[in-house]
Structure 1
Amino acid sequence: MARIPSTQALRALESFARHGTVWQAADELNLTRSAVSHQLRLLEREMGFRMFDRVGTRIELTPQGMAYASDIRRALSAIAGSAARNAGRGVTGALTVSCTPGFAATWLCPKIGRFREGFPDVSLSIVTPRRLDDVSNPDVDLFLTFGTGNQPGMQVELLKEVEFTPLCSPALINRLGGLNGPRDVLRAGLLHLHEREDWRNWFRLAGVGEEAAQEGIVFADMNLVYAAAMNAQGIAMGDEFICHEAMEAGTLVRPFDLAIRSPRSYFLVVPTDKADNPAVGAFRSWLREELPDMHD
């Protein structure tokens, strides 16, 4: 069998391929830039084909280098998945997670299969609460809430702070002939969740009278707000974390750079008497892995 390069060199290549710069790969891998550059040079020499083009002081992957990096990414992912599956064996029990509807639909549900792969013997149930900060259900082992984090007698961990900004469908912008300033959102039609506070705060920051927030449609569920926005029915005050994938896909766009920091955040909340449940510990660890930028 052909000699396999060092794992560190392969990780350096995979990280460089994703970020495109040596310094970002070095930051991610906790190495110096010279160490990453050295690993990449050794790897190219060992593989025997040209993996990099030198462009001034920068290096870029050649087509062969990009293809090899793609293969390495898949191989490293398979190794990590195998480790997670085997580490999770032996963790058993039932786990009920309460999660806000928006977080569940757009972030948790698309990723939950990875938890199942890692901990196949955990019997998992996911429920949604009536209120976004509700932790009253006695059948729940772990809560993913949106609120202030004030839950006396429970273990509370900040997951993600949130910024809100207007988000809408590009089709709506085209139909309106563009949105040239903050007041133009009134032509688009405002979409609200429960109340109008977020729009009032944004209008105040934008220098538009906050009474403008009285316009628009009020929905009882954030998923309904986003569904209406994606179907060009109006403009929502969107959570950029929850809407990240829709923004990446271009189904929602941000017409203005102006954003407001929400007084509420996403929290992981565990009742003290449930904290020793091995399945709770497994889910907490998995969540930290999936959200490496927690607290940012």
Structure 2
Amino acid sequence: MDWTTLPSLSALRAFAAYAQSRSVAKAGAALNVSHAAISQHLRALESDLGVALLDRSGRRMELTAEGETLARALLDGFGQIATTVEALTGADATRPLQISTTPTFASAWLMPRLSQFREKHPEISLTIDPSATVQTPEPGGIDVALRYGQGDWPGLEAELLVRSPIVVVAAPTLVGTREISSPADLREYHWLQELGTNEATDWFALHGVDRDAGHGYASLPGNLMLEAARAGRGDRHHRGDFRGAGRRGRAAEDSL
């Protein structure tokens, strides 16, 4: 490697911090420098590379295609460095294992198993974020994300936790005595799905049914979705496999 061809490390750090936060002020706070210093580093890096990394034509500064490419490389590289340093110094050993999952899965599957996990791993502290917001596992942040999906998430190691059948349910007050013999018979109902998922859309697509968009969907937190389904305000369904995905190098999720 020709080290003399690389841009200033300070400029690369400033650009990576900006790319991660998409804010000059937040990048400055993360690196403990002024936002003016971040702006100077960004312009110096573009000048050094001879490439436009930022599009400043709009009201908000955005990364160009070249900027996105460099940002991915830097964040991956700095992430690996941070992980290695934590492993060498032991700084990561005492930090709680941070888990992100949906509220319904947290209450119905994860919580009943925590006592067993504590018995096996009393030395591991846990922080559980029951939110529909999808957060990317990264060094110093979320370690494990439990989500519905096929497990083909780039850059993450995924392990199947629960395989469950697809079940469609509705309150008797909603469907009455109507005979339902095929997925197409459910097109006219308003559907409920858990916030942060696209289960209803996937279910109809799986059965080759063109969903009538005029009846729409309602995306709700898990507990509200159950209450709405029981009250006859729509159909509710449950689908698919639940998988745990985490950044490489952090263990213990397989014991949950």
TM-score by length of 2: 0.49
- For normalisation by structure 1, the TM-score amounts to 0.43
